[in-house]
Amino acid sequence: MQTATRHTAPLQFVPREDARRDAAPAPLRTLCSTCHLKDLCLPCGLNGTDIERLDGLKFARRRIKEGQALYHEGEKFQFIYAVRSGTFKSHLTLKDGREQVTGFQMAGELLGLDGLASGQHASSAIALEDAEICAIPYAHLMELASTSTDLQHVISRLMSREIVREHSLMMLLGSMNAEERLAAFLLNISQRMKARGWSASEFHLRMSRAEIGSYLGMKLETVSRTFSAFQHQRLLEVDKKHVRITSLEGLQQAFDMRVQ
Amino acid sequence: MQTATRHTAPLQFVPREDARRDAAPAPLRTLCSTCHLKDLCLPCGLNGTDIERLDGLKFARRRIKEGQALYHEGEKFQFIYAVRSGTFKSHLTLKDGREQVTGFQMAGELLGLDGLASGQHASSAIALEDAEICAIPYAHLMELASTSTDLQHVISRLMSREIVREHSLMMLLGSMNAEERLAAFLLNISQRMKARGWSASEFHLRMSRAEIGSYLGMKLETVSRTFSAFQHQRLLEVDKKHVRITSLEGLQQAFDMRVQ
DNA sequence: CGATTCCTTGAGGCATCTCAAGGCAAGTGG
DNA sequence: CCACTTGCCTTGAGATGCCTCAAGGAATCG
């Protein structure tokens, strides 16, 4: 295990040295209402007035380097994190050192909601590439929510979405075979890429075969073999982490075999 | 499939005929502050003033007969349900007719939180025995929450708890073998029984082998064989659905092999 | 250039699934 | 009350999909 993954990134807002050199530092105040991710992220579903109310939210932007942790399992829960750029994995660590990946988070998605239950983070979040996040103080968010029922609804809805997401994952883990699992995974990534304005058919996976395997409940060798099988079936073209879906219908079919 | 499971129980408060005969009808107003489940259910963690505020909540009590649905996947979401008595299963139905059980709910636990995300229930809830629930209108609950930040916190915490619960299930489905899965399941049931003042070592399972199997991601035959294996290991005494844990330590060990 | 990490592929083993048969308990109808 | 059905559980035997172990290739890094 790398030492980097054991170390939590500093809490304060720190534009990295190289960022200072080749670009203007990020503005001190970032507003939800002008954020390019506002249709995916926290403000999603809010009307004009409420989005402006969200602008009252003071939060820090932080850069997280690849391999660094945003938070660790067991750490005190204080912030909800919104991914601005980059990709994260959430995972639990088992007693014997193995990990179960519980999710991958992309731009506009939230991290840390599982910490509310006990006041401690129930999982760890690791950056899979250099990333940037907004750290929203939970207490402050709830304060703001008490002034707007719509904002309360949005927060509840986001948490419910997480529950629904995990339901489908349980279905996947509980009753699908290797090909169905990987097809479901790739179709999910594809949709999320599309929602972010990227190509739905060609993308770069940020996670390793082992991480995909942990997420899907299979060994890395099985993930690799299933990628190869999809290539032979002419559903994909794979070059390491670069994936091109050549037959979306075929993938859908592999997935649709069992799922609604 | 029985027709009963395809039919949703009526929405209005209906004391059943036989209930009217052999007992006084349930009171028209049920108060959270005097409920025997208040330490497990919605009021959990609230202080005196806020619990009394919860008493402003108007909700109906409903009886659900064994096999009947509280709600179906796809139905409009309007209520959060609190189990007063009885046991439920939540499940998703796959295209090919098979089902994935996503959880079992006991007295004091909440049902329906997955409906918030889209305004439609994402799963179905079926009573595994005659049961009674409180149907709490979600809009009304949120109205009340807008008057109390503590109540908001409690609702968020309950949703977060559901996320954490599903995390552990993912860990179970993703990286444990049959014995570990069943041990984890039985220990979980045992804890929840204990929290309700029942015996932690001897209880009656309300769900079938097939339902346990669906929940744990294994076939009913494997569940049955694993029960038998535990009996041979002198960890359990099993008679159909009646289970007596004779070695809690042994079960813990079967489970602890991998999990924190 | 060696060390390291990640990926791919092969061969064999094993845990779980599949298929099948039979037992038990509860319900039903004659 | 008995014969029959039905649902649920248990157990066995064989099949199989995924895992384990192992080797080697490709890319990255100091």
Q: What is the 3-state secondary structure (H, E, C) of A58-126?
A: CCEEEEECCCCEEECCCCECCEEEEEEECCEEEEEECCCCCEEEEEEECCCCEECHHHCCCCECCCEEE
Assess whether pLDDT exceeds 80 at residue B5: no
Structure tokens at A6: 């054991």
Comparing alpha-carbon positions, the chain A residue that sits nearest to B216 is: A174
Task: Give domain B176-259's CATH architecture.
Answer: Orthogonal Bundle (1.10)
Q: Is the CB of B206 under 7 A from strand D?
A: no
Q: How far is A150 from chain B (nearest CA, A)?
A: 10
Whose tokens are 């009646």? That residue is B242
The better pLDDT of the pair A80, B53 is held by A80
Q: In whole numbers, what is the pLDDT of chain A averaged over residues?
A: 87
Contacts by residues A96-103 (CB-CB < 8 Å, ≥ 24 positions apart): A96/B257, A96/B258, A98/A214, A98/B175, A98/B258, A99/A214, A100/A214, A100/B170, A100/B171, A100/B174, A100/B175, A101/A207, A101/A211, A101/A214, A101/A215, A102/A166, A102/A215, A102/B167, A102/B170, A102/B171, A103/A165, A103/A169, A103/A215
Q: How far is B220 from chain A (nearest CA, A)?
A: 13
Instruction: Return the pLDDT at A98.
Output: 73
Whose tokens are 């059943």? That residue is B16
Instruction: Return the pLDDT at A17.
Output: 38
DSSP B76: B
| CA A157 from centroid of its chain's CA atoms | 17
The H or E element containing residue B238 is strand B236-239
Whether B77 and B138 have beta carbons less than 8 Å apart is answered as yes
Q: Is the CB of B175 under 7 A from strand D?
A: no
Q: Could you report the per-residue pLDDT of A204-260, keeping only the tens digit for each?
A: 999 999 999 999 999 999 999 999 999 999 999 999 999 999 999 999 988 875 554
Q: What distance in Å separates the CA atoms of residue B244 and residue A61, rounded to the nearest whole number?
A: 54
pTM score, two decimals?
A: 0.87
Comparing alpha-carbon positions, the chain A residue that sits nearest to B97 is: A258
Q: What distance in Å separates the CA atoms of residue B124 and residue B94, rounded to the nearest whole number?
A: 12
Q: Can you give the residue ranges of every domain in chain A? A: 22-169, 176-259
How many CB atoms lie under 10 A from the CB of residue A255? Answer: 21
Q: In Å, what is the CA distance from A232 to each residue of A202, A237, A244?
A: 18, 9, 13
Give the closest nucleotide to A241 (alpha carbon vs C1'): C7
Contact: A173, B173; criterion CB under 8 Å: yes
Bases of chain D within 7 A of a CB of the protein:
8-13, 17-22, 27
Q: Say whether A234 sits in a helix, a strand or coil.
A: coil
Nearest one of A76, A62, A46, A69 to A138, comparing CA atoms = A76
Q: Which residues contact A3 (CB under 8 A, 6 or more apart)?
A: none
Contact: B95, A170; criterion CB under 8 Å: no
> Is residue B208 exposed (0-12), middle (13-18) or buried (19+ Cβ within 10 Å)?
middle
The better pLDDT of the pair B254, B100 is held by B100
Percent of chain A with pLDDT over 70: 87
Assess whether pLDDT exceeds 70 at residue B80: yes
* CB nearest to B174's CB, from A100, A159, A171: A100
Q: Say whether B243 sits in a helix, a strand or coil.
A: strand
Q: What distance in Å separates the CA atoms of residue A97 and residue A237, rounded to the nearest whole number?
A: 33
- Banded model confidence at residue B95, pLDDT cuts 50, 70, 90: confident
Contact: A175, B113; criterion CB under 8 Å: no
Comparing alpha-carbon positions, the chain A residue that sits nearest to B151 is: A146
Q: How far is A13 from chain B (nearest CA, A)?
A: 27
Domain B22-169 fold: Jelly Rolls (2.60.120)
At residue A23, what is the residue type?
A
